[in-house]
């Protein structure tokens, strides 16, 4: 255990005309509380003609940067009153540190001003930002379309092996999680319906509920949300890391369009894989409902199958699959866009990834709402 | 032998939004120069490099590649000009998902009609030139920082460029590697006949290989000296330039850090 510190203390000795003699005593270290400057300030106020302050350190024990910062504080207060501070009696170490600390003058214009915008101003700024964001996104989507056209004309360049690797990551690699979630989704839908339908003796319509629910809405939406968190985030992270590493600049200065090389294969891969995954999710979801129907509700396998077959039409399947292709395009675009827009600080890639996932999910649900309205209007 | 202008910069101002980094820059890079962009940290040397290679649009002023106004030209013309540039980024900027061979092969596959066998031969040659023979199938994450820089250089010279740009090439290199890199730069300039533009503050490299330069000052936000660094060392009167070139030795210690 260290020996206990002697408390820091200073006192003003008998003063000469125009001079203030400060005697510093005790241990001035981190761990001791600093005495306040009020005594000095009071003395300065009482004796208006002070022109020098001399510091005496004969009674000084241990010291560290606490003492240095105290003296700096003192000198800051004095400079406003044009009083000279004499530190020549202090240990040479303190004098050197003080000299070092005051060597470089404060650079002009470097202090950041604290400006608190008003509530209305913040709302205004947020709206303008949202508008700018939407504009950027539409521009980006346009560039992706142009890239697609170039691809169709055979002028876009990306590596075939990159494309197939991404297809594998978006498609087959996602099957386990899609299976699990869709199965459970079907189960949940069936449960929800079962209790209500049982009251009317309409148990068999559970099959309808699950089939229509999965194929029209839930298959596409759940798959999209999973893929947004999984693949959208992966795209944003990958492209964001490349941006931080200047790899995307390297493409640009080599005259290779990053959008053709990096974004296009990802957008194509996800847009093609989503309908397949959704179809699979629909079937697995119906299977989940089957488990509940057969296991819990005394509906036979054949009955359930026939009822399911009867309840949905090709139109139901098509709406879900069509929407899923759109979702795929949106998820990939947003993920890639966020990645490319990534900043250069250490938290940037994380921010880009989070933003990509959140935005994707929001846009998916908004798009779903819009489509549901449209389909309802046109009677599909 | 009169010097022929390769890049001409006229009244260039660089800014991020309202924040001006440098202004009123006027200089000419001649053919086969080894042109140094130097200045204190944060003065905007790397930003200036970005303006010269097509990564950032100037706030004011123009950049000419011989007779073509770079930033007024169409994107296609710019891409055409950029194709003849080779750039070594500070961290190498190798494409991390590809092996070294694939990194160097990409520009070759993109812009030439060579068969894949011929491309493989060229790739091996470029890697051998930078001393990385045998590392064709390594990924960037599997090699050291110094080797990544050399691989980045191999990629920069893949298409035998007219102008080579280096962003802080000796950063992170030990003195021996830095000297080897300097020698390599000289060799490439002589054999390819390339013009070289280097952003650096390594004094040993500046004096060893630079034959022309500009000095950017952070506080006044403009260039305050230009010419051969060795002549600047002998004749320049400006204290800021002198302190930089002599590592602060000839002056009062109090101004080292500014």
Edge to edge, what strands does the sheet with B163-167 contain? B85-88, B163-167, B195-199, B34-39, B212-217, B222-226
Residue A329: predicted pLDDT: 95
Question: Is A253 within 8 Å of B110 when comparing Cβ atoms?
Answer: no
Nearest-CA distance A243 → chain B (Å):
10
- B193 in Cβ contact with B32 (< 8 Å): yes
Question: Is A247 within 8 Å of B106 when comparing Cβ atoms?
Answer: no
Say how many residues make up chain A: 380
Give the pLDDT band of residue B255 (cuts 50, 70, 90).
Answer: very low
Would an 8 Å CB–CB cutoff place A212 in contact with chain B? no
- A232 in Cβ contact with A357 (< 8 Å): yes
Cα(B56)–Cα(A341) distance, integer angstroms? 15
Q: Which of A247, A257, A343, A344 to mutate to test the interface with B (most CBs of B within 10 A)?
A: A247
What token pair was written down for A168? Answer: 């594998």
Query: Cβ contacts (< 8 Å) between A103 and chain B: which residues?
Result: 254, 257
Question: Is B106 within 8 Å of A254 when comparing Cβ atoms?
Answer: yes
Query: Cβ contacts (< 8 Å) between A245 and chain B: which residues?
Result: 91, 93, 96
Residue B251 has pLDDT above 70, yes or no: no
Residue A170: predicted pLDDT: 93
Cα(B187)–Cα(B185) distance, integer angstroms? 5
Q: State pLDDT tens for residues B73-120.
A: 998 888 889 989 999 998 889 999 999 999 999 999 888 889 999 999
Q: State pLDDT tens for residues B216-245.
A: 998 888 999 999 999 998 888 888 888 888
Nearest-CA distance A162 → chain B (Å):
9
- B29 in Cβ contact with B7 (< 8 Å): yes
Residue A88: predicted pLDDT: 80
Residue A24: predicted pLDDT: 79
Residue B256 has pLDDT above 50, yes or no: no
> What value does the mean pLDDT take over residues B178-191?
89
Cα(B198)–Cα(B206) distance, integer angstroms? 9
Query: Cβ contacts (< 8 Å) between B94 and chain A: which residues?
Result: 247, 250
Residue A230: predicted pLDDT: 95
Residue B213 forms beta bridges with which residues? B36
Residue B65 has pLDDT above 50, yes or no: yes
Residue A58: predicted pLDDT: 80
Residue of B nearest to A100 (CA): B254
Residue of A nearest to B254 (CA): A103
Q: Which of B17, B46, B53, B97 to mutate to test the interface with A (most CBs of A within 10 A)?
A: B97
Query: Cβ contacts (< 8 Å) between B96 and chain A: which residues?
Result: 241-242, 245, 247
> What value does the mean pLDDT take over residues B164-184?
88
DSSP string covering A245-271: TTHHHHHHHTT--HIIIIIHHHHHHHH
Residue of B nearest to A102 (CA): B254
* B69 CB-near residues (< 8 Å, 6+ apart): B62, B63
What token pair was written down for B132? Answer: 């990385």
Cα(A56)–Cα(A70) distance, integer angstroms? 14
> Exposed, middle or buried by CB within 10 Å (0-12, 13-18, 19+), for B235?
exposed
Q: Residues in chain A with pLDDT < 70?
A: 1-5, 14-15, 79-81, 106-112
pTM of the model: 0.79
Question: Is B55 within 8 Å of A253 when comparing Cβ atoms?
Answer: yes
Query: Cβ contacts (< 8 Å) between B82 and chain A: which residues?
Result: 253-255
Residue B166 forms beta bridges with which residues? B88, B198
Question: Is A256 within 8 Å of B110 when comparing Cβ atoms?
Answer: yes
Cα(A26)–Cα(A225) distance, integer angstroms? 66
- Count how many pairs of residues, chain A against chain B, have C-beta atoms within 8 Å: 51
DSSP B253: G
Cα(A215)–Cα(A285) distance, integer angstroms? 9
ipTM rounded to 2 decimals = 0.86
What token pair was written down for A7? Answer: 């408390």
Say how many residues make up chain B: 258
Cα(A268)–Cα(A44) distance, integer angstroms? 77
Cα(A210)–Cα(A190) distance, integer angstroms? 6
Of the candidates B55, B47, B45, B80, the one whose C-alpha atom is nearest the C-alpha of residue B65 is: B80
Cα(B148)–Cα(B88) distance, integer angstroms? 10
Phi-psi region of B54 (alpha: psi -120 to 50; beta: other; left: phi over 0): left
Half-sphere exposure in the Cβ direction for B9 (13 Å, CA): 21
**Please, what is the average pLDDT of chain B?**
89
Nearest-CA distance B232 → chain A (Å):
26
Helices A348-377 and A314-340 pack at an angle, to 10 degrees, of 150
* A364-to-A114, A257, A324 alpha-carbon distances in Å: 38, 28, 9
């Amino acid at each position: 255990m260290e020996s206990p510190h002697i408390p820091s203390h200073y006192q003003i000795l008998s003063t000469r005309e125009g001079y203030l003699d400060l005697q510093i005593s005790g241990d001035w270290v981190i761990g001791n509380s600093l005495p306040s400057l009020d005594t000095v300030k009071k003395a300065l106020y009482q004796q208006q003609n002070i022109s020098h302050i001399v510091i005496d350190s004969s009674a000084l024990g241990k010291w560290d940067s606490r003492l240095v910062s105290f003296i700096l504080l003192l000198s800051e207060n004095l400079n406003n009153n044009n009083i000279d501070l004499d530190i020549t009696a202090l240990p040479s170490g303190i004098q050197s540190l003080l000299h070092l600390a005051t060597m470089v003058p404060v650079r002009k214009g470097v202090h950041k001003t604290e400006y608190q915008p008003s509530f209305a101003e913040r709302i205004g700024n947020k709206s303008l930002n949202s508008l700018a964001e939407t504009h950027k996104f539409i521009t980006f989507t346009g560039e992706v379309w142009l890239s697609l056209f170039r691809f169709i004309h055979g002028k876009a360049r990306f590596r075939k092996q990159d494309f197939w690797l991404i297809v594998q990551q978006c498609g087959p690699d996602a099957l386990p999680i899609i299976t699990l979630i869709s199965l459970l989704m079907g189960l949940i839908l069936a449960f929800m319906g079962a209790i209500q339908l049982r009251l009317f003796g309409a148990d068999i319509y559970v099959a309808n509920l699950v089939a229509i629910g999965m194929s029209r809405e839930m298959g596409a939406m759940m798959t999209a949300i999973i893929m947004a968190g999984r693949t959208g985030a992966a795209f944003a992270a990958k492209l964001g890391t490349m941006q931080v590493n200047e790899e995307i600049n390297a493409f640009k200065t080599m005259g290779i369009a990053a959008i053709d090389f990096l974004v296009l294969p990802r957008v194509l891969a996800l847009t093609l894989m989503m309908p397949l995954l959704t179809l699979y999710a629909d079937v697995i979801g119906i299977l989940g409902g089957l488990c509940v129907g057969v296991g819990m509700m005394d509906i036979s396998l054949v009955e359930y199958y026939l009822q399911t077959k009867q309840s949905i039409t090709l139109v139901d399947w098509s709406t879900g699959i069509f929407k899923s292709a759109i979702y795929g395009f949106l998820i990939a675009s947003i993920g890639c866009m966020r990645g490319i827009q990534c900043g250069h600080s250490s938290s940037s890639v994380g921010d880009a990834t989070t933003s990509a996932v959140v935005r994707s999910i929001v846009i998916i649900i908004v798009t779903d709402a819009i489509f549901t309205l449209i389909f309802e209007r046109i009677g599909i | 032998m009169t010097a022929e202008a390769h890049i001409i910069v006229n009244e260039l101002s660089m800014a991020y939004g309202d924040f001006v980094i440098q202004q009123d820059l006027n200089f000419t890079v001649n053919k086969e120069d080894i042109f140094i962009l130097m200045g204190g940290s944060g003065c905007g040397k790397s930003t200036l490099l970005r303006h010269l290679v097509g990564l950032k649009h100037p706030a004011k002023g123009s950049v000419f590649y011989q007779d073509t106004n770079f930033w007024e030209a169409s994107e296609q013309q710019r891409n055409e000009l950029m194709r003849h540039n080779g750039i070594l980024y500070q961290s190498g900027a190798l494409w991390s998902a590809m092996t070294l061979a694939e990194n160097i092969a990409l520009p070759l596959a993109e812009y030439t009609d060579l068969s894949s066998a011929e491309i493989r031969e060229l790739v091996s040659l470029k890697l051998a030139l930078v001393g990385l023979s045998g590392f064709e199938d390594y990924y960037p994450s599997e090699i050291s920082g110094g080797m990544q820089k050399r691989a980045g250089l191999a990629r920069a010279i893949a298409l035998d460029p007219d102008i080579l740009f280096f962003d802080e090439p000796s950063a992170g290199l030990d003195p021996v590697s830095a000297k080897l890199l300097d020698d390599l730069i000289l060799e490439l300039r002589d054999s390819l006949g390339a013009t070289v533009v280097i952003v650096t503050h390594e004094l040993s490299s500046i004096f060893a290989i630079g034959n022309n330069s500009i000095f950017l000052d952070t506080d006044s936000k403009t260039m305050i000296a230009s010419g051969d660094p060795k002549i600047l060392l002998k004749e320049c009167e400006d204290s800021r330039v002198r302190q930089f070139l002599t590592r602060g030795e000839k002056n009062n210690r109090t101004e080292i850090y500014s």
